[in-house]
Copies of this chain bind each other. A is one copy, B any other.
Amino acid sequence: MSNHFGDRLVDAVKSKRTPLIVGLDPVYSRLPSAITSRQDMNDEFDVDSAVDAIFDFSTQVLRIVAPMVPAVKINIAFFEKYLSQGIETYYSLISEANELGLEVIGDVKRGDIGHTAEAYAAAHLENPELTGLEDTLAPDAITINGFAGAESIEPFAEKATKNGKGVFVWVRASNPGAAAIQDCVCEGGQKVYEKIAAITGDIANKPENIGKAGYSNIGMVVGGTSPDETSELRKKYEKVWFLVPGYGSQGASAADCIRFCKKDGSGALINASRSIIYAYEEQKYKDQFGDNWKKCIEQAVIDAKLDIAKAVQDAF
């Protein structure tokens, strides 16, 4: 397997024939009752019980989706609630996903400057070499917040490049309120998110960051919910992978999201979280599969892949 994150994504997207990735945001109260009714997992307010249930659910989801998608995005926020046990679970899931051949993106949105950014980078972009943690893997890539400029991106980029990992800088959020800051037009006509994209692009385009397939290991997170504002980014940053949240539960359509793909289908990862992992809550899947929650998730992935494939066909 390539030691370059951008190259690995090209291969993974080609082999799974889709830019769709699945996001894991597991919340105990929404887990299937088949899991939460088990005696060792039935207490939401007991930390052992809760993390066991979340781990069990998440590993089953990983096994369902692994043959169908190139990558998963694991959102650390939903694990931090369980403090150290949550973090242990987060890393266990990274290992599970890695063994299943998935690229793993840690959605951590870390962001700070100087020696703090270096500490975060060491924590999240380096397989720990400490005695006692030898078996732990860091994710293949993480999301970061580059609001404090190049100095809040470079420490992560350097660590990622050194370790064959990747970084997605949060350039434009998918929520409506983000526009109040990120769409502000600055002197010279550039919007704030365009400035962050430009700073990120300069780092992404450094020769040492470009892989054999022509992509950088430094990418951008751009919400699929604001396609008009952001469709220029694809053209402008040819070597960049885009991580596109917002498809599904947040309201972005497949057509909105695939604007970040190139003609060959590479260049963007389109993330769906809740619309996939909680598919068993939806009437249309209930009608089809009853309480077979795994079948519901599987079908939701198939449906999303078809939806996206059709949008790609229509667009190119």
Contacts and interface: CB of A to CB of B under 8 A. Distances in A.
A303 interface: no
A210 B13 CA distance: 51
B182 A185 contact: no
A178 B131 contact: no
Given A113-B173, A173-B148, A81 B131 contact: no
Interface stretch (A41-49, A95-103, A231-239, A285-293): A41-49
Nearest to A91: B83
A85 B84 contact: yes
B84 A88 contact: yes
Contacts of A35: none
A25 B122 CA distance: 14
A79 B307 CA distance: 43
A124 interface: yes
A147 interface: yes
A82 interface: yes
Given A122-B81, A124-B80, A149 B178 contact: yes
A211 interface: no
A314 interface: no
A111 B145 contact: yes
Interface string A170-188: 1001111111111011110
A11 to B, nearest CB: 29
Contacts of A64: none
Contact of A133 (B80, B83, B150, B152): B83
A86 B88 CA distance: 11
* Protomer copies: 2
A46 B109 contact: no
Contacts of A145: 109, 111, 145, 147
A57 to B, nearest CB: 16
B77 A83 contact: no
Contacts of A147: 145, 147, 170, 173, 181-182
Q: Which of A86, A123, A124, A170 has the most CB of B within 10 A?
A: A123
Given A80-B124, A131-B45, A184-B187, A149 B179 contact: yes
A1 interface: no
A196 interface: yes
Interface string A61-93: 000000000000001011011111111100100
A119 interface: yes
Given A123-B80, A184-B186, A175 B48 contact: no
A174 B131 CA distance: 36
Contact of A132 (B47, B114, B115, B130): B47
13 contacts: A43-B131, A46-B130, A47-B131, A47-B132, A77-B120, A82-B133, A83-B87, A83-B88, A85-B132, A113-B177, A148-B170, A152-B177, A152-B178
Given A43-B131, A85-B132, 12 more contacts: A45-B131, A80-B120, A109-B111, A145-B147, A147-B173, A148-B181, A149-B178, A151-B177, A152-B175, A180-B199, A185-B186, A186-B186
